[in-house]
Structure 1
Amino acid sequence: MFKRINGKQIKTLVFGKYFLVVMVILAIGCKSASHSKKDRPNILFLFTDDQRYSTLGALGMEEVLTPGMDGLMAMGTTFTNAYILGAPHGAVCSPSRAMLMTGRHYFNLQPNVYAQFSVPNNLKGKSDKLTFPEYFRANGYATFATGKQHNGKDWVERGFEEGKSIYMGGMTKHFGTKVKDFSANAGWSQPYVDKEKFSSELFADAAIDYLENHKAGKPFLMYVSFTAPHDPRTAPQEFHDLYPPENISLPENFMDGHPFPIADMKIRDEKLAAFPRTEKELRQHISDYYAMISATDAQIVRVLDALEKSGEAENTIIVFSGDNGLAVGQHGLLGKQSVYEHSIKVPLIFSGPGIPKNKKKDAFAYLHDVFPTLCGLTDLEIPASVQTKDLTPVLKGKQQVVREVMHFAYNAWPGDNKPKERGAHRAVRKGDYKLIVSSKDGIVTEQLFNLKKDPWELHNVIGENEDSEILKDLRSSLNSLIKETGDPADLSKDMFGLYE
């Protein structure tokens, strides 16, 4: 990719702008992993919207420039098998974020926070479940938020003492984003917009302002939640110029359409490109997607630079992740409403005191493991309400794994009166194998992939393994996990009984 970019752009936009900052963050030292209440580390959570795992430039999987994110990988530990559990409707971001906030599976949360469109106004955002900002605030942390909040204002008010440039909602334009400020003392400001400023810059400015003005005395928890690279994909032009569409490589699993009918095939996300998909149009989509990621990466670097200048970098845990992936042409899909790797696999990086640098861990992890893991890293007791796993033993090299098997779910919203869009997926991964079971209108399709040999999920080997122990084991594991997690799916029924 570097050969395809003008040399002046590389020097000014990438190396000249990022190099010193990346070198600084790489130099951050490790401290003891044991913390008293007095010296607990700060937490900086950096969160992107619709960024799939493979778009970390340092992985070499896609032609995208992410020097800031690459620097975080070098200064910390990256989970190479991190996933979201899934979602029960097309706005995958909302249940994903609700699970992150609570450390609970969406099956065990109120739709008030992950499907607000489905409940009366007086119930929107109402939940008795504990969130990690709320918990850390109660344990002496100064808590701050900026950017996207997709689960209602109650969790914002309970979890954060202060917020600036908060966007309440799912998706919005990236120039002129309507935002509000919040403080526990003064409440909410009137909404305001800056039509000249890219959304990621707006949120980075808010984070930088907090770092520059935070008063020492107690540790901080910052939740910096970008609305990019979610569409509309309108980055500043200099970033679009980095990716001429004619030079974009298509993914190996590019298709002009999905090979069989599945849930939500004509949802809004899928209508962003014509049917059948064309190579030319998809190259443009991928180009714009990369531009949004690089533009947001530049703002992440600004936040990291401000953290270093604040003098707090050595005592700050940094977490970087995304709320879900995105197909953008893979398997003939545009959106995230499936359980293929491109839609459920996300970046997950931890760095900071006591966390090994430049390491990769292949242990299975969920995004909503973040809550208990932050507790583990700060020596706080994990609340009883949390249902997921503390990854600290893996980060510290004391355990190889915290789970042997993973469960994934997606279905069109059961309450929608759209019979043509109905359908459901359930999936399970164990070792290198992943089984996807899809059900729509009386037809069940099973797909078995060996992800080590076939990371693009192109070769369904179920015909070669119809009676194998692998397939039997995966089917059994999936049914067990459905029961254990409270998943309402019944695999013996059409569309798993979700629309009865």
Structure 2
Amino acid sequence: MVENLKRIAIPVLAFTLFGCDGVKTSQVEKPNILFLFTDDQRHGTIGELQQELVKTPNLDRLVQAGTTFTNSYILGGATAAVCSPSRAMLMTGRHYFNIEPNVYAQFAFPKEEQGKSDLLTFPEYFKANGYTTFATGKQHNGSIWLERGFSQIKSAFLGGMTTHFGTKVQDYSPETGWSEPYKQVDKFSSEVFADAAVGFLANYKQDNPFLMYVAFTAPHDPRTAPEEYQDQYPAESIEVPDNFMPEHPFEIADDKIRDELLAPFPRTKERIQQEIADYYAMITATDAQIGRVLKALEESGKTENTIIVFSGDNGLALGQHGLLGKQNVYEHSVGVPLVFCGPNIPQNTRVEALAYLHDVFPTLCGLTGLEIPESVQTKDLTPVIKGEAESVRSSMMYAYNSWPGDLLQGHSLKHNPGGGHRAVRKGDHKLIVSAKHDVFTYQLFNLKNDPLELNNLVDDEKYTSVREDLLQELQKLIDETGDPADLSKNEFGLYDNPEAYNFKNKE
């Protein structure tokens, strides 16, 4: 399952940057990179995109100043903590099937095995090519990659989820190692991380370029935004989405996982209104802190030579299809925002090309002139950004299943483990195959006409050829990506072979 994991030799390359007007600068100059990352922020939750009524004035500025991918997604995950495989893929540019499970499912491994990996990450690669690398915020794949990849770490949260007031964080430098954990009980988490980013920018005096990785823990629950932001979203004023359902119409993987138990069954519109209101408040509160970072960048005089990327690690259902969490492959849970701004990047532009979050690694290489490492498995979006190509792929797949260890290691769990989903998108159509126990469920949607995925066309004879074509495409992508799923077996055969996941019983 995990192949070719050794880091490759890292070439150090020079290149010429073109200024915003398309004219060569007088000297070879590398652009800085600022990567802004949120937790559980689904695609569409930027006011400028006019899809959801959420206030994001600073993210709006980024959309206006850059190129936005309107069909951007995560691949998925094999654990309910979807953010961990999502971040591992982002860091490496690899599909999670080809990343060690002890990196993205650390809970299943002995402490000494957690995070151990020789895979190359994009901070490590850019550091080797002359960048000063800085990180703050959520880091969910262990400390090994962090120590290799970052020159400086301030206010890092090492974990999956936590309180937003009194978040325990740590600092790191190669000279001093890791600090003891500390916390600021009166500050919202996004402010803590923005403070660290602003401080780095204010004090940065080096000539070499920087790469900043600013990873917020919001809007992940517990959704406890400062009161001034909560007051902006009265629950009774929130519109419930048209694909709201009291319960999901059929049994699926992890349908009683922690995320799904945050609200009782059946869902009520009033409860979902409150969930969305709290979610929007978290996004707006974090947007304000993103604004502080952008202002600090402007005050540093480095904005014109800085590539800014904004994205999220996964989406969230919040009542759509009767679900609350992200352990599925519907649009609301796999769709994420993806915006690029900076030198030579077209402004106020939206492109429909299919994009993965973990395309970021090769795309940053493309935008800065660095060779893409052989270990990277995804696509460079630079030709799309520059208008040289309409797309870099014609189809894409999505995957989710329960963590196999829950069953294979004999854990007694209440969240109804087992089951999985595989899906494929090609053109306007998307096919989802769900497997739970000995039941297979097929759903076929035309996303252009039905973006909320309500009208299942799978039994419509007019779409028989579409279904067959998508099934063939899905199998092709499964083979290409190294996905261990076997569509012919119950629950895709994912729980038949413990060795496929290389995990060891913690006991």
TM-score interval, smaller chain: over 0.9
For residues 354-369 of structure 1, what are the structure 2 equivalents within 5 Å?
354-369=344-359
Match of 1:425 among 421, 429, 448: 421
From the superposition, tell whether residues 349 and 36 of structure 1 become closer, same or farther in structure 2 (CA, over 3 Å).
farther
**Residue 61 of structure 1 pairs with residue 51 of structure 2:** yes
Amino acid of the structure 1 residue aligned with 2:367: L
Amino acid of the structure 2 residue aligned with 1:269: D
Match of 1:494 among 490, 496, 501: 490
**Residue 104 of structure 1 pairs with residue 128 of structure 2:** no
**Residue 113 of structure 1 pairs with residue 109 of structure 2:** no
Contact 1:38 1:218 in 2 (8 A): no
Alignment partners' CA distance in 2, 1:35 and 1:170: 43
Structure 1 equivalent of residue 296 of structure 2: 306
Structure 2 equivalent of residue 445 of structure 1: 441
**C-alpha displacement of 1:50:** 0.1
Residue identity (%): 66
Alignment partners' CA distance in 1, 2:79 and 2:192: 29
Amino acid of the structure 1 residue aligned with 2:201: L
**Residue 382 of structure 1 pairs with residue 335 of structure 2:** no
Alignment partners' CA distance in 2, 1:494 and 1:337: 19
**C-alpha displacement of 1:467:** 6.0
Amino acid of the structure 1 residue aligned with 2:379: K
From the superposition, tell whether residues 148 and 36 of structure 1 become closer, same or farther in structure 2 (CA, over 3 Å).
farther
**C-alpha displacement of 1:209:** 0.2
Structure 2 equivalent of residue 406 of structure 1: 396
For residues 12-27 of structure 1, what are the structure 2 equivalents within 5 Å?
none
**C-alpha displacement of 1:216:** 2.8
Alignment partners' CA distance in 2, 1:296 and 1:228: 7
Contact 2:257 2:416 in 1 (8 A): no
Contact 1:33 1:353 in 2 (8 A): no
Match of 1:187 among 163, 173, 177: 177
Amino acid of the structure 2 residue aligned with 1:104: R
Structure 2 equivalent of residue 148 of structure 1: 138
1:264-286 Cα shifts (integer Å, max 9, x gaps)? 01000000001000111111100
Contact 2:36 2:310 in 1 (8 A): yes
**Residue 48 of structure 1 pairs with residue 41 of structure 2:** no
- Cα RMSD of the aligned pairs, angstroms, is 1.3
Alignment partners' CA distance in 2, 1:303 and 1:49: 17
From the superposition, tell whether residues 292 and 59 of structure 1 become closer, same or farther in structure 2 (CA, over 3 Å).
same
Contact 2:103 2:141 in 1 (8 A): yes
Alignment partners' CA distance in 1, 2:463 and 2:391: 29
**C-alpha displacement of 1:466:** 6.9
For residues 201-280 of structure 1, what are the structure 2 equivalents within 5 Å?
201-280=191-270
1:188-235 Cα shifts (integer Å, max 9, x gaps)? 111110000000000000000000001131000000000000000000
From the superposition, tell whether residues 187 and 407 of structure 1 become closer, same or farther in structure 2 (CA, over 3 Å).
same
**C-alpha displacement of 1:54:** 1.6
Q: Which stretch shows the higher mean deviation, 125-134 or 54-63?
A: 54-63
**C-alpha displacement of 1:468:** 2.4
**C-alpha displacement of 1:33:** 8.4
Alignment partners' CA distance in 2, 1:372 and 1:87: 21
Alignment partners' CA distance in 2, 1:280 and 1:33: 55
From the superposition, tell whether residues 382 and 465 of structure 1 become closer, same or farther in structure 2 (CA, over 3 Å).
farther
Alignment partners' CA distance in 2, 1:33 and 1:487: 44
1:402-437 Cα shifts (integer Å, max 9, x gaps)? 000001000000110349321100000000000000
From the superposition, tell whether residues 33 and 384 of structure 1 become closer, same or farther in structure 2 (CA, over 3 Å).
farther
**C-alpha displacement of 1:34:** 6.9
Alignment partners' CA distance in 1, 2:242 and 2:207: 52
From the superposition, tell whether residues 34 and 442 of structure 1 become closer, same or farther in structure 2 (CA, over 3 Å).
farther
From the superposition, tell whether residues 367 and 441 of structure 1 become closer, same or farther in structure 2 (CA, over 3 Å).
same
From the superposition, tell whether residues 493 and 439 of structure 1 become closer, same or farther in structure 2 (CA, over 3 Å).
same
From the superposition, tell whether residues 386 and 152 of structure 1 become closer, same or farther in structure 2 (CA, over 3 Å).
same
Structure 2 equivalent of residue 30 of structure 1: 20
Contact 1:174 1:232 in 2 (8 A): yes
Runs of 4 or more above 4 Å deviation = 31-38
Structure 2 equivalent of residue 372 of structure 1: 362
With the length of structure 2 as denominator, give the TM-score of the two structures. Answer: 0.92
**C-alpha displacement of 1:146:** 0.2
Contact 1:89 1:413 in 2 (8 A): yes
Contact 2:458 2:464 in 1 (8 A): no
Alignment partners' CA distance in 1, 2:299 and 2:174: 27
Query: What residue ranges of structure 2 are gaps of 5+ in the alignment?
Result: 1-18, 497-507
**Residue 328 of structure 1 pairs with residue 324 of structure 2:** no
**C-alpha displacement of 1:120:** 1.2
Corresponding residue pairs, total: 472
2:48 match: secondary structure: helix
**C-alpha displacement of 1:56:** 1.1
**C-alpha displacement of 1:31:** 5.0
**Residue 395 of structure 1 pairs with residue 385 of structure 2:** yes
Contact 2:457 2:463 in 1 (8 A): no
Alignment partners' CA distance in 2, 1:221 and 1:85: 25
Alignment partners' CA distance in 2, 1:125 and 1:203: 23
Contact 2:75 2:86 in 1 (8 A): yes
Structure 2 equivalent of residue 91 of structure 1: 81
Alignment partners' CA distance in 1, 2:417 and 2:109: 21
1:110-137 Cα shifts (integer Å, max 9, x gaps)? 0121000111111101101000000000
1:462 match: secondary structure: coil
Contact 1:35 1:378 in 2 (8 A): no
Q: Which stretch shows the higher mean deviation, 411-420 or 173-182?
A: 411-420
**Residue 436 of structure 1 pairs with residue 436 of structure 2:** no
Alignment partners' CA distance in 2, 1:444 and 1:329: 23
